[in-house]
Chain A
Amino acid sequence: MQNKQTSLKNTGVLFLTATLCLFMMSCASNDSRQYGDVYDPMESTNRAIFAFNEVLDENVAEPVAKGYRLVMPEPGREGIKNVLTNLSTPVNAGNQLLQGDVGGAMTDIGRALVNTTIGIAGLFDVAGYLGLEHEPEDFGQTLAVWGVSEGPYFVIPLLGPSNLRDGVGRLADSFADPLNIYLMNIEEEEIIYARWGVSVVSQREDLIEVLDELESGAIDYYAVMRSSYSQYRNTLITDKDASAGMAAFPDFDDE
């Protein structure tokens, strides 16, 4: 118990340091890139990891996702998605608060209260029907709102596209998740891994068509994923306000 608390404290300090480093970095980097270009200094390594992930995806993740879709009917998959969203409430609401969005945090808490009770442990998104819509937040987005830039793009083995900011955010979210901390304290780590596994399969199932289309339409799939990831993250950061950061689109009358 004592050890665990110290290790938690240590990870806390680690993340504080990592966040500070990110601030320094984002202030120091002289950003002269065009909108839509992604900073990718480790491209060759990234491409290798990407190729490795693709093999794994083709042989494991995609077949599992397709099998899951086959075995589990739509309402069941929807229910599992709802439960996962409900379980993410503490992290989601926490990030809303860190981003200064008190209303968003209240919405999250309201959603959890309604869905956990009337929605039977989160299986049904009753709050969603009532107009309290889920807005996905994470610490990567929070860092972005605080002014931290993406940093270098990198592909995480097994997990896929990310960047320094979002990678740190991901770690921070999973370590700060009260549910995970609780499960670690009662020594039920298996549940953490089970939840993570279910959420990976559920997310992959969600993306079957999207990824198929992106790949079949692409000449350089790596470049397409890199650009799409960065743009999609920007959409989430601005809470789906497509007007923020719209790229300039010149008129070509001149030539």
Chain B
Amino acid sequence: MGDARAPRRPLGLRLWLSGGWLTLLVLAAILAPWISPQDPLAQDLFAGRLPPFWQAGAEPGYWLGTDSLGRDVLTRITYGAQVALVVALVAGTATCLVGATLGLIAGYYRGWVDLVVSRLIEIWMAFPPVLFAILLIAVLGPGLWSIVIAIVVIDWTRFARVVRAEAMSQSAMDYVASAQVAGRGRMGIMLAEILPNVMATIVTMLTLEMGIAVIIEAILSFVNLSISTDFPTWGGMISEGRLSVHQAWWVLVFPLIALFLTVLSFSQLGEGLKDRFDPVLR
């Protein structure tokens, strides 16, 4: 039966790398006003399309070059990280709370609650999500909160479906029957017996959802439906960089890399954390 209390496994490379990149990003976002080499909005038409530092013609202080209006790419990426991270945390968590709660209740209580939630999920899944989001922003008006609301509204089904299925399979286990016979209330069983066993799944999906939220925000920025067009966002930068990709590829590529690494890190963080929340693997 082994040791009753196995020693904690060391953090894997996966957790180190993804956690490292996300920590760096959080620090950059918080410290942006102090560490950024330039003003993110300052235009300088004489310094337009400066290449990154290793290329001929680069200017000191503009590490990753400038866009066609002379704004510093590195600075705008750091400021863009603010939006990306706020959206990831707030929208990801809110989506998780809404979806997981509905899924858990539907999967455990079954009956008419399940009927209503399941039909809602089916109807929701029939909408093309990005168009749905665009429609929502059009109605709500652009802004950070509109984006958060749009992400929650279009993506809660992702959690609800999976958590519902998990809760259903856990409910069929004998330990739930034993808890019922032991006189535990329905709510008590759901929270104390079933929730802990669904937690590993929820945490994995939460981090995945954070990555997805970043992507949705970028897509909305790309079609100019995010927060005000002045404030730098990764999606907005990609959209602008696309116009001058033949003259200044760096305006497009660097925010794309930041976006890619962030989404990848979130999903890898989830994979790494899942093992820590899984009672059998812990």
Binding partners A and B: no
A contact residues vs B (CB 8 Å cutoff): none
Residues of B bordering A, CB below 8 Å = none
